[in-house]
C-alpha cells in the first residue's frame, strides 16, 4: 500500500513527539497498514485506540487487521461499538466508534493503559470525532503528556488541525495511483433520476466486454444513493434488468453484520455484484472487486431547526470533496470508471467540502458531555469548529428543563446518573424519573416499561406499523435491542420481568413516560390541520393512522421534511387528559398574557392556563393598568416600527439634523445621541415611553408630535448648538428667514444614513432675494455648503446650485431670458452678483 513509503517516518515520529498529523488519500492504507505496523513494531507498549466514524468500517477494519495477524477478532485486535464488542484481556488495538471514546475518557480521564489514540477519517467532521479529539487533547495537555494523538485525514484543506495541534509533526502520504475515468451523464429535465440511474447501471453491467478494451467492465459496481428508501426502490428497478450472474447487495447502517459482509466480500466465481450503498461506503471500507462507480450525487442530510427543536431531513447535493472520494472507490484495486449523474457545470457549483456535523445537528448530548467534563460552555473545549450559538443555548436550556444541569450549567446528581446510562439525555431523564416513581409506589412496572419505551425510540429500522409506539414494544424485547434494554435494567437496578411489563403496558403509563422525556412535545389536536406541539410546532399524521383521531398526543419522534409545512409524526402515544391534572400537573402553568389586538386596535389582557404554547383555558383580566398599555404599545412599535407614530417631515428634519451633527461636529464637549431609525426604535423606552401615559389606542398614538419629542430628548446645550450648526432658516439680506431642508441618502431598507458627499442642506428662496450674494452659505463650521433652490416670483423652482457664483455667470443668463417675459414686473438684472436683493417688484424697489 502507498503508506508503506512513510511508515518508517511515522514510527520514528512516535518516539519523538506526542502529536502526529497524517494526510493520506483514500486507499493509501492508513486505516489498516498503519495500525498493523504499529502492532508489529512494538513501539507502542500500551493499548492503541483507533476511532472510526462508522460502525460498518469499525468491524471491517478490525477484522482485516486481525486476519493479517492470522488471528480472530477479539485477540490482539478487537472492536467496540454501541451494543456490540469483541475484546479481551489480550486486546492491544481497539477500534471504537459512536462516542465510545468520549465515554471512555469521561469514565477514566487519565485513560489508564492507553498509550495512543488514532482518529481516522477526521476530514468527515463527524460530531463524535470532533468531541473525542477535543477531550483527548485536553487529557494530553493536563494529565497524560506522554499520550500520543494521531489525526489522520484524506485532506487537510479547510481543516484547522494545525491550530489545535501546533506542535504536531505533519506527514504526507501519496494515494494509490490507479487512474479513474470520470464521465458525466446528467438526468434529463423530465426524467426520474432513479430510473435514469437504473438504466446507467444496467448499461454498464451488460456491456459486451468483447467489444471494449476497458478492463473495468469486467468488475463489480458500487452505486451511491442517499438512503435506505432509494436503495430499495433502485433494487426493484434493477432486478428485471440484470442477469442471474449479477447479484444486488444493499449496504446501509441498519443491515445486519452478515448482510454488510455480503456487500464487502468478493462475489463467487462467475458472479459480479452491484453494491447499492449510502455514504457509509465513501471511505475506510475496501469493497472487493469494485471497478465502477455510479454516483447519484445526493445525500440525505439532517439539519437542526432551532425553531422546532428537531432536525429537518432534506435531499442535498454532495460536496466536491465527497464526489472525489466516491469516484476514488473505483480505483482502489485497478483502473476504474466513475459515472456522475450530474453535469460538469454543476460539479463546479457544488460546495467544496461538506459542513461539519457540529454546525448541523442537535447538541443536547454534547452539552451533557461538556457538563460531565466540567466545562460550562462549548468554547472551553478545543473544538475544530465552534457550535452555532443558538444550538448551544437550546441544548443547555433543555438540560435545565430536564434537571440534568443547574442554571450555571453545572452537572446535577441526576445529570451524573443520566450520563452513566449512555443514552440521549431525554431518555435518561425518563428512565431515572420512572425509577424514582417505581420506588415510590413500590412497583417496578413503570421503570421496566420505561426501558422498553427507550428501547423502541433508540431502535433502528423499525417496521412500518403506524405511529403508535405501543405497537413496537415487543421489538424492544427481542434480539440486539433486548440486550440494550436489559443493560438499562441492570444499571438502574430494577428487579422484575420485562415480559410482564410488556403485557401490562397501557397508554396512560406510556404517555406519562413520553411526557417525562418530551415535555415540549405534548400535542393538542387542531382539526384537519393535525396537531400543535407545546413548543408551538405543527405536526401531522397519516389520515388513516388511528392516532390521527386522538385529542391529545405525546410525540416521541417526528421529522421535518423539505417541502412540508408541518412535521410528520413517526412515533407517538395518545395522551390521557387526566395526566395533565395529576402526574403531569407540574407542566401546566398559569400566565397573564397581554398585548395589542390588531383587529380591534386596542389592548387586551387574559389569564391563561397553558402547557407551553398550548392554551388550555383563558379568562379576561379586567385589571388593566396604564403600565400594561404602555408596555403593549412599545411592543407594537418594536415589532412594526415607527410607522405607527406620526413620524412626519418635521420629525424627519430633526432626525437628519442630529445625524449630521453626530457625523460633522468635532466638539468633544457635546455628545450627540444616535438618531438613526434603528436606534430610535431600540431606545423608544427612554424618549417615547414617558409620553404614552394617557394613550389608550393607536389613533391617540398617531397624534403625538414626534418632532417635539425628539427635540425634548436633547439637552438645552444640544438644542442651542444644533440651531447654530444646522439652522432651520437662513436670514437673507431682505430680512426673510428662508427655510433650510436637510436631505440624506436612503438605503435599500428605506432608512436614512450619513454618507460623505451625499448629504444636502437645501435653502429655498426667491431668486430676487439672493441677488448680491457671491457664494452659497456654509454651515456646520464650514463643513457643509448649502445648496440654493432659487424660486420664481410664484415660488416655482428655477434652478438648484451649490455654486452661486458660477450660476450668476452661466445658467442665470438663460433663466433671465425666459423669466423676463413671464414676470416683467420683477427684477432680472444683468449683473446679479452686484445688485441689491429685494423681495418687491421693480415698482416698489427703491432706486428703480
User: Tell me, what's the pLDDT at 26?
Assistant: 73
Asked if residue 502 and residue 450 are part of one domain, the reply reads yes
Rounded distance between C-alpha atoms, residue 114 and residue 49, angstroms = 7
Residue of 807 and 82 predicted with greater confidence: 807
Asked if residue 418 and residue 559 are part of one domain, the reply reads no
- Cell 387526566: give the residue: 578
CA 387 vs CA 320, 379, 419, 562: distances in Å: 23, 8, 21, 23
Read off the pLDDT band of 210 (50, 70, 90). Answer: low
- Cell 455484484: give the residue: 273
**Total H helices, total E strands in the chain:** 28, 31
User: Nine-digit cell at 398?
Assistant: 433543555
Rounded distance between C-alpha atoms, residue 262 and residue 257, angstroms = 9
Taking residues 667-680, what's their average pLDDT?
85
Cα atoms found within 13 Å of the Cα of residue 681, Cβ hemisphere only: 15
User: Tell me, what's the pLDDT at 562?
Assistant: 64
Q: Which helix (H) or strand (E) holds 765?
A: strand 760-766
Cβ proximity of 470 and 505 under 8 Å: yes
Asked if residue 324 and residue 184 are part of one domain, the reply reads yes
Asked if residue 599 and residue 665 are part of one domain, the reply reads no
| Number of domains forming the structure of the chain | 7
Cβ proximity of 629 and 596 under 8 Å: no
Q: Is the pLDDT of residue 211 over 70?
A: no
Asked if residue 400 and residue 343 are part of one domain, the reply reads no
Cβ proximity of 493 and 502 under 8 Å: no
Last residue of a domain, one of 358, 392, 409: 358
Residue of 83 and 447 predicted with greater confidence: 447
Q: Is 843 within a domain?
A: no
- Cell 460550562: give the residue: 376
Rounded distance between C-alpha atoms, residue 613 and residue 579, angstroms = 18
Closest CA to 200 of 337, 322, 346: 337
CB atoms within 10 A of CB 518: 25
Asked if residue 49 and residue 34 are part of one domain, the reply reads yes
Asked if residue 314 and residue 185 are part of one domain, the reply reads yes
Q: Is 613 within a domain?
A: yes
Closest CA to 481 of 452, 517, 505: 452
What is the overall mean pLDDT for the chain? 89
User: Tell me, what's the pLDDT at 563?
Assistant: 59
Q: Which residues pair with residue 303 across a beta bridge? A: 312
Read off the pLDDT band of 550 (50, 70, 90). Answer: very high
Taking residues 278-282, what's their average pLDDT?
75
Exposure letters 668-702 (e unless 16+ CB within 10 A, then b): eebebbebbbeebeeebeebbeebbeebeeeeebe
- Cell 460552555: give the residue: 377
User: Tell me, what's the pLDDT at 848?
Assistant: 58
**Structural domain of 656:** 642-714
Asked if residue 571 and residue 430 are part of one domain, the reply reads yes
Helix (H, G, I), strand (E, B) or coil at 393: helix
pTM for the predicted model, two decimal places = 0.74
User: Tell me, what's the pLDDT at 450?
Assistant: 95
CB atoms within 10 A of CB 315: 15
Asked if residue 821 and residue 734 are part of one domain, the reply reads yes
Q: Is the pLDDT of residue 694 over 90?
A: no
Closest CA to 73 of 284, 30, 65, 81: 65
Q: Is 637 within a domain?
A: no
Rounded distance between C-alpha atoms, residue 700 and residue 694, angstroms = 9
Rounded distance between C-alpha atoms, residue 813 and residue 816, angstroms = 5
Q: Is 330 within a domain?
A: yes
Asked if residue 386 and residue 349 are part of one domain, the reply reads no
Residues 623-645 pLDDT 10s: 777 777 788 788 878 877 787 88
Rounded distance between C-alpha atoms, residue 412 and residue 371, angstroms = 9
User: Nine-digit cell at 113?
Assistant: 493503559
Rounded distance between C-alpha atoms, residue 611 and residue 591, angstroms = 10
Last residue of a domain, one of 306, 334, 358: 358
Rounded distance between C-alpha atoms, residue 553 and residue 573, angstroms = 6
CB atoms within 10 A of CB 156: 17
User: Tell me, what's the pLDDT at 30?
Assistant: 83
Residues 786-828 pLDDT 10s: 999 999 999 999 999 999 999 999 999 999 999 998 999 999 9
Rounded distance between C-alpha atoms, residue 160 and residue 503, angstroms = 54
Helical H runs in 357-388? 364-373
Last residue of a domain, one of 682, 714, 746: 714
Please report the DSSP string for 104-127 in residue order: HHHH-TT-TTEEEEEE-SGGG--H
Helix (H, G, I), strand (E, B) or coil at 13: helix
Strands 538-540 and 531-533: antiparallel
Q: Is 841 within a domain?
A: no
Rounded distance between C-alpha atoms, residue 450 and residue 428, angstroms = 10
The C-alpha angle with vertex 118 and arms to 115 and 123, in degrees rounded to 5, equals 160
Asked if residue 342 and residue 200 are part of one domain, the reply reads yes
Cβ proximity of 777 and 763 under 8 Å: yes
Residues 225-236 pLDDT 10s: 998 889 999 999
The C-alpha angle with vertex 112 and arms to 111 and 116, in degrees rounded to 5, equals 60
Tell me the percentage of the chain whose pLDDT exceeds 70.
Answer: 97
Q: Give the domain CATH number at 312.
A: 3.40.50.300
CA 634 vs CA 596, 691, 693, 796: distances in Å: 10, 11, 12, 42
Cβ proximity of 448 and 501 under 8 Å: yes
State the DSSP code for 704.
S
Rounded distance between C-alpha atoms, residue 550 and residue 540, angstroms = 12
Cβ proximity of 297 and 323 under 8 Å: yes
Please report the DSSP string for 118-163 in residue order: EE-SGGG--HHHHHHHHHHHHHHHHT-TT-EEEEEES--TT--HHH
Q: Phi-psi bin for 83: left (phi > 0), alpha (psi -120 to 50), beta?
A: left
Taking residues 557-562, what's their average pLDDT?
81
Cβ proximity of 608 and 615 under 8 Å: yes
Rounded distance between C-alpha atoms, residue 782 and residue 701, angstroms = 40
Asked if residue 57 and residue 36 are part of one domain, the reply reads yes
Taking residues 309-329, what's their average pLDDT?
86
Q: Is 375 within a domain?
A: yes
Helix (H, G, I), strand (E, B) or coil at 165: coil
- Cell 413671464: give the residue: 822
Q: Which residues pair with residue 336 across a beta bridge? A: 180
Rounded distance between C-alpha atoms, residue 432 and residue 477, angstroms = 20
Q: Is the pLDDT of residue 478 over 80?
A: yes
Cβ proximity of 336 and 292 under 8 Å: yes
Q: Is the pLDDT of residue 467 over 70?
A: yes
Residues 34-76 pLDDT 10s: 999 999 998 999 999 999 888 878 888 898 899 999 999 999 9
State the DSSP code for 356.
P
Q: Is 306 within a domain?
A: yes
Estimate the crossing angle of helix 413-421 against helix 425-441, to 10 degrees: 110
Cβ proximity of 472 and 465 under 8 Å: yes
- Cell 438645552: give the residue: 716
Least confident of 169-178, 473-482, 609-618: 169-178
Helix (H, G, I), strand (E, B) or coil at 279: helix
Q: Is the pLDDT of residue 175 over 70?
A: no
State the DSSP code for 576.
P
State the DSSP code for 82.
T
Exposure letters 456-465 (e unless 16+ CB within 10 A, then b): bbbbeebeee
What are the residues whose beta carbons fall under 8 Å from the beta carbon of 56, sequence distance 6 or more? Answer: 251, 253, 260, 280, 285
CA 30 vs CA 33, 132, 169, 357, 647: distances in Å: 6, 19, 16, 23, 69
Q: Is 847 within a domain?
A: no
Amino acid at each position: 500500500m502507498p503508506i508503506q513509503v512513510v511508515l518508517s517516518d511515522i514510527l520514528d515520529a512516535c518516539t519523538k513527539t506526542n502529536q502526529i498529523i497524517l494526510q493520506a488519500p483514500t486507499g493509501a492504507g492508513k486505516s489498516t497498514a498503519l495500525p498493523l505496523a504499529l502492532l508489529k513494531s512494538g513501539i507502542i507498549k500500551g493499548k492503541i485506540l483507533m476511532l472510526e466514524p462508522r460502525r460498518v468500517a469499525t468491524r471491517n477494519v478490525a477484522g482485516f487487521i486481525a486476519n493479517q495477524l492470522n488471528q480472530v477478532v477479539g485477540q490482539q485486535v478487537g472492536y467496540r461499538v454501541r451494543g456490540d464488542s469483541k475484546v479481551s484481556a489480550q486486546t492491544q488495538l481497539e477500534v471504537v466508534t459512536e462516542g465510545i471514546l468520549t465515554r471512555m475518557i469521561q469514565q477514566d480521564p487519565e485513560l489508564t493503559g492507553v498509550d495512543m489514540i488514532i482518529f481516522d477519517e477526521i476530514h468527515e467532521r463527524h460530531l463524535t470525532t470532533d468531541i473525542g479529539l477535543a477531550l483527548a487533547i485536553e487529557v494530553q495537555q493536563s494529565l497524560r503528556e506522554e499520550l500520543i494523538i494521531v489525526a489522520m485525514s484524506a485532506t487537510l484543506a479547510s481543516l484547522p488541525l494545525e491550530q489545535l495541534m501546533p506542535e504536531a509533526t505533519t506527514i504526507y502520504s501519496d494515494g494509490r495511483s490507479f487512474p479513474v475515468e470520470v464521465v458525466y451523464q446528467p438526468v434529463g429535465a423530465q426524467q426520474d433520476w432513479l430510473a435514469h440511474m437504473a438504466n446507467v447501471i444496467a448499461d454498464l453491467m451488460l456491456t459486451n466486454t468483447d467489444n471494449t478494451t476497458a478492463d473495468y467492465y469486467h468488475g463489480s459496481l458500487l452505486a451511491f444513493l442517499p438512503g435506505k428508501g432509494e436503495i430499495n426502490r433502485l433494487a426493484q428497478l434493477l432486478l428485471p434488468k440484470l442477469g442471474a450472474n449479477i447479484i444486488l447487495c444493499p449496504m446501509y447502517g441498519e443491515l445486519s453484520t452478515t448482510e454488510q459482509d455480503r456487500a464487502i466480500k468478493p462475489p463467487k466465481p462467475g458472479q459480479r455484484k452491484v453494491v447499492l450503498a449510502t455514504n457509509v461506503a465513501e471511505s475506510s471500507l475496501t469493497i472487493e472487486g469494485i471497478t465502477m462507480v455510479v454516483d447519484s450525487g445526493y445525500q440525505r442530510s439532517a439539519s437542526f431547526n432551532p425553531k422546532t427543536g428537531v432536525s429537518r431531513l432534506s435531499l442535498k447535493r454532495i460536496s466536491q470533496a465527497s464526489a472525489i472520494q466516491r469516484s476514488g472507490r473505483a480505483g482502489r484495486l485497478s483502473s476504474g470508471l466513475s459515472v456522475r449523474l450530474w453535469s460538469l457545470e454543476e460539479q463546479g457549483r457544488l460546495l467544496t467540502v461538506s459542513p461539519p456535523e457540529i454546525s448541523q445537528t442537535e447538541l443536547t448530548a454534547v452539552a451533557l458531555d461538556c457538563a460531565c467534563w466540567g466545562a460550562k460552555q462549548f468554547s472551553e473545549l478545543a473544538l475544530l469548529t465552534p457550535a452555532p450559538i443558538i444550538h448551544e443555548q437550546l441544548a443547555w436550556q433543555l438540560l435545565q428543563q430536564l434537571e440534568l444541569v443547574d442554571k450555571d450549567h453545572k452537572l446535577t446528581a441526576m445529570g451524573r446518573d443520566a450520563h452513566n446510562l449512555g443514552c440521549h439525555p431525554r431518555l435518561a431523564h425518563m428512565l431515572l424519573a420512572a425509577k424514582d416513581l417505581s420506588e415510590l409506589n413500590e412497583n417496578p412496572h413503570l421503570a421496566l416499561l420505561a426501558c422498553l419505551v427507550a428501547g423502541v425510540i433508540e431502535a433502528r429500522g423499525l417496521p412500518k406499523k403506524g405511529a403508535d409506539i405501543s405497537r413496537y414494544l415487543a421489538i424492544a424485547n427481542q434480539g440486539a435491542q433486548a440486550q440494550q434494554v436489559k443493560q438499562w435494567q441492570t444499571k438502574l437496578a430494577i428487579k422484575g420481568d420485562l415480559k410482564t411489563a410488556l403485557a401490562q403496558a397501557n397508554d396512560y403509563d406510556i404517555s406519562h413516560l413520553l411526557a417525562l422525556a418530551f415535555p415540549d412535545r405534548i400535542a393538542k389536536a387542531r382539526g384537519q390541520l393535525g396537531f400543535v406541539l407545546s413548543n408551538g410546532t405543527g405536526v401531522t399524521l397519516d389520515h388513516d393512522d388511528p392516532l390521527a383521531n386522538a385529542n391529545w398526543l405525546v410525540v416521541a419522534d417526528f421529522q421535518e421534511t423539505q417541502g412540508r409545512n408541518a412535521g410528520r409524526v413517526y412515533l407517538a402515544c395518545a395522551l390521557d387528559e387526566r395526566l395533565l391534572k395529576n402526574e403531569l400537573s407540574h407542566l401546566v402553568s398559569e400566565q397573564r398574557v397581554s398585548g395589542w389586538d390588531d383587529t380591534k386596535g386596542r389592548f387586551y389582557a387574559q389569564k391563561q392556563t397553558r402547557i407551553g404554547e398550548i392554551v388550555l383555558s383563558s379568562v379576561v383580566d379586567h385589571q388593566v393598568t396604564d403600565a400594561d398599555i404602555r408596555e403593549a404599545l412599545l411592543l407594537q412599535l418594536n415589532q412594526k416600527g415607527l410607522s405607527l407614530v406620526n413620524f412626519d417631515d418635521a420629525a424627519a428634519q430633526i432626525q437628519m439634523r442630529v445625524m449630521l451633527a453626530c457625523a460633522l461636529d468635532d466638539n468633544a464637549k457635546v455628545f450627540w445621541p444616535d438618531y438613526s431609525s434603528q436606534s430610535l426604535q431600540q431606545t423608544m423606552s427612554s424618549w417615547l415611553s414617558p409620553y404614552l401615559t394617557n394613550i389608550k389606542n393607536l389613533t391617540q398614538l398617531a397624534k403625538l408630535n414626534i418632532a417635539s419629542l425628539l427635540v425634548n430628548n436633547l439637552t438645552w446645550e444640544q438644542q442651542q448648538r444644533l440651531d447654530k450648526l444646522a439652522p432651520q432658516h437662513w436670514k437673507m439680506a431682505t430680512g426673510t428667514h428662508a427655510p433650510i431642508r436637510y436631505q440624506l441618502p436612503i438605503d435599500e431598507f428605506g432608512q436614512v444614513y450619513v454618507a460623505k458627499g451625499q448629504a444636502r442642506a437645501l435653502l429655498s428662496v426667491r431668486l430676487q432675494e439672493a441677488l448680491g450674494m457671491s457664494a452659497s452659505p456654509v454651515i456646520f463650521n464650514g463643513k457643509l455648503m448649502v445648496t440654493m433652490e432659487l424660486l420664481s416670483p410664484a415660488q416655482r423652482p428655477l434652478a438648484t446650485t451649490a455654486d452661486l457664483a458660477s450660476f450668476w455667470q452661466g445658467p442665470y443668463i438663460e433663466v433671465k431670458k425666459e423669466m423676463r417675459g413671464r414676470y416683467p414686473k420683477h427684477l432680472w438684472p444683468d449683473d446679479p452678483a452686484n445688485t441689491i436683493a429685494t423681495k418687491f417688484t421693480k415698482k416698489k424697489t427703491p432706486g428703480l
